[in-house]
């Protein structure tokens, strides 16, 4: 089956259907010969994207118009790196051009601090607790290597952790003689209580910290960080959170969650582009966490000392402020609800397809915008290739331990018909599994 019929123009649809929605006129899809003549929809000022009424499909089409995603491509892998919206892309281009034209103002500390002032309330923290980093991995290293570990100290984690969070502790195991205690989590688990209980049962007298993903990169499991932090603190254990995915996907409040450290990515669900990240270190533990690189003395310093890595990439850092502005304009809760609606549509559809196994929980409290599934025992790369070649849907492979499948990211720039196209592709592959079993080469 060919995916050619899906290659209609986003730009044409937006240029006609959004206008028609205002005028009360319905429109249909057009062919490729017409789409080539369409002009791109002009950029909309942020204020023009502020919801003024019902947040319906016409509104989300307007939001979608502010992305330069290739026509006909259903991109569902912002869990790796998301597309920059136009407002972020334009900020990056402008700052890069300004620096090229006049390098005398190449530090812009006031501008960087202004971004910090935006980020802090966006994530429910104080500016003094926020370091602007280059990645989640950098933030995870800041905490892990910042503690004074002793031989025999233990860190507790689960078997689905990403290498960016797990890696620092592998180094510390060799250099400092710490122990890594790994637990297995069910996929999916029965409840939030089951998750917290498994961690509590694994704590020993030598456990110094729990390192845990807020949303695991494999199955999309959402860990109950507040419950876990309350339990850990009762046991005298610190909690470091790998938050590569939640920033920009769900409404975050670090103070309410109660964790000690949280490292997040800017290039994924926040859509801020590569080389961006946020590292939160709770104010009352900063005297326990040394900077990763040489910086100011700990006494009286804030989380900015964790930024002592040399000169910032200004276009990326300042563009992150515009990514926050975009999400604040749309509304964090609107975005989270949109992501959940799309993932629910996907999971419900997958559950109806014979031969599909869903590894991600359908419980709202245990999942959000990431979905992992497998199709019979077809090699996962074959599934990814077929969906792209035949249906123009881009997702990715994912596997660790006994989990082997394909992972889908559904974010607010995606549309319901794209989810439906993915489901049609999966139905086709599942019904013709024999055609997709062979691995070429």
Query: Domains along the chain?
Result: 1-72 (no CATH), 88-328 (3.40.640.10)
CA separation for the pair 82, 266 (Å, rounded): 9
H or E segment and range at residue 334: helix 332-351
User: Starting at the edge strand that comes first in sequence, how are the strands of the sheet with 207-213 ordered?
Assistant: 130-133, 277-281, 261-265, 238-243, 207-213, 154-158, 179-183
Q: Is 318 helix (H, G, I), strand (E, B) or coil?
A: helix
**What pLDDT is recorded for position 22?**
34
List, in order, residues 6 or more apart from 215 with CB less than 8 Å away: 221, 222, 223, 243, 244, 245, 246, 249, 250, 368, 370
List the alpha helices (DSSP H) in 235-289: 254-257
DSSP states of 192-235 = HHHHHHHHHHH--TTEEEEEEESB-TTT--B--HHHHHHHHHHT
In terms of DSSP bridges, do strands 277-281 and 261-265 run parallel, antiparallel, or are they unpaired? antiparallel
CA separation for the pair 400, 158 (Å, rounded): 12
Instruction: State the helix-helix crossing angle for 416-431 and 332-351, rounded to 10 degrees.
Output: 20
pTM higher than 0.75: yes
Sign of the alpha-carbon torsion through 375, 352, 188, 241: positive
Kindly state the DSSP code that residue 286 receives in the 8-state scheme: G
Question: Environment class of residue 291 by beta-carbon count within 10 Å: exposed (0-12), middle (13-18) or buried (19+)?
Answer: buried
Nearest C-alpha neighbor of 304 from the set 319, 332, 283: 283
In the structure encoding, which two tokens stand for residue 218, read together? 């494999």
Sign of the alpha-carbon torsion through 247, 257, 294, 161: negative
Say whether the peptide bond before residue 188 is cis (omega within 30 degrees of 0). yes
CA separation for the pair 81, 83 (Å, rounded): 7
H or E segment and range at residue 356: strand 356-358
In the structure encoding, which two tokens stand for residue 347, read together? 């999971």
Run means of pLDDT, 10 residues per run, the chain, 441 residues: 40 38 32 38 82 94 96 96 96 96 91 97 98 97 97 96 95 97 92 97 98 96 97 98 98 98 98 97 95 76 89 95 98 97 98 97 95 95 97 92 86 98 98 88 45
What are residue 399's DSSP bridge partners? 404
Strands (E), 3-77: 74-75
Nearest C-alpha neighbor of 371 from the set 391, 342, 400: 342
Rg (alpha carbons) of the chain, rounded to whole number: 23
**What pLDDT is recorded for position 6?**
41
Sign of the alpha-carbon torsion through 161, 159, 258, 371: positive
In the structure encoding, which two tokens stand for residue 38, read together? 């369409």
In terms of DSSP bridges, do strands 396-400 and 403-409 run parallel, antiparallel, or are they unpaired? antiparallel
First vs last C-alpha separation in the chain: 23
Q: Which residue has the tokens 């991109």?
A: 75
User: Starting at the edge strand that comes first in sequence, how are the strands of the sheet with 396-400 ordered?
Assistant: 356-358, 370-375, 403-409, 396-400
Does residue 217 contact residue 162 with C-beta atoms inside 8 Å? Answer: yes
Question: Environment class of residue 247 by beta-carbon count within 10 Å: exposed (0-12), middle (13-18) or buried (19+)?
Answer: buried
Q: Which residue has the tokens 């999309």?
A: 220
């Amino acid at each position: 089956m060919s995916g050619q019929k899906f290659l209609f123009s986003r730009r044409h649809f937006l240029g006609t259907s959004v206008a028609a929605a205002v005028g009360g006129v319905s429109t249909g899809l057009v062919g490729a010969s017409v789409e080539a003549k369409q002009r791109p929809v002009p950029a909309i000022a942020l204020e023009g994207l502020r919801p003024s009424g019902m947040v319906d499909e016409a509104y989300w089409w307007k939001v979608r118009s502010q992305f330069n995603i290739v026509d006909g491509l259903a991109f569902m892998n912002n869990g790796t790196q998301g597309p920059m919206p136009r407002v972020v892309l334009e900020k990056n281009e402008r700052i890069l051009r300004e620096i090229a034209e006049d390098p005398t103002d190449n530090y812009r500390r006031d501008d960087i601090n202004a971004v910090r002032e935006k980020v802090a309330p966006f994530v429910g923290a104080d500016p003094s607790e926020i370091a602007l980093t280059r990645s989640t991995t950098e933030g995870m290293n800041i905490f892990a290597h910042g503690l004074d570990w002793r031989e025999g100290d233990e860190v507790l984690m689960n078997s689905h952790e990403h290498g960016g969070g797990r890696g620092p502790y592998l180094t510390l195991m060799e250099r400092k003689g710490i122990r890594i205690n790994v637990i297995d989590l069910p996929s999916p688990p029965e409840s939030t209580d089951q998750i917290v209980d498994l961690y509590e049962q694994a704590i020993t007298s030598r456990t110094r910290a729990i390192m845990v993903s807020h949303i695991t990169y494999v199955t999309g499991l959402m860990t109950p960080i507040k419950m876990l932090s309350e339990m850990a603190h009762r046991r005298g254990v610190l909690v470091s959170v790998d938050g590569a995915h939640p920033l920009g996907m769900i409404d975050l409040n670090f103070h309410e969650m109660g964790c000690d450290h949280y490292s997040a990515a800017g290039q994924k669900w926040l859509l801020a582009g590569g080389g961006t990240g946020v590292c939160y270190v709770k104010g009352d533990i900063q005297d326990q966490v040394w900077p990763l690189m040489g910086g100011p003395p700990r006494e009286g310093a804030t989380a900015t000392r964790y930024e002592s890595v040399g000169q910032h990439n200004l276009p990326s850092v300042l563009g992150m402020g515009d990514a926050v502005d975009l999400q604040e304009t749309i509304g964090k809760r609107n975005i989270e609800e949109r992501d959940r609606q799309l993932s629910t549509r996907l999971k419900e559809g997958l559950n109806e397809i014979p031969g599909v196994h869903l590894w991600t929980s359908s419980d709202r409290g245990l999942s959000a915008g990431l979905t992992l599934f497998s199709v019979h025992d077809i090699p996962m790369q074959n599934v990814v290739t077929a969906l792209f070649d035949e249906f123009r849907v881009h997702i990715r492979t994912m596997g660790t331990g006994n989990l082997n499948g394909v992972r889908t990211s559904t974010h607010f720039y995606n549309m319901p018909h794209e989810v439906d196209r993915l489901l049609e592709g999966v139905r086709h592959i599942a019904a013709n599994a024999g055609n997709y079993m062979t691995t070429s080469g």
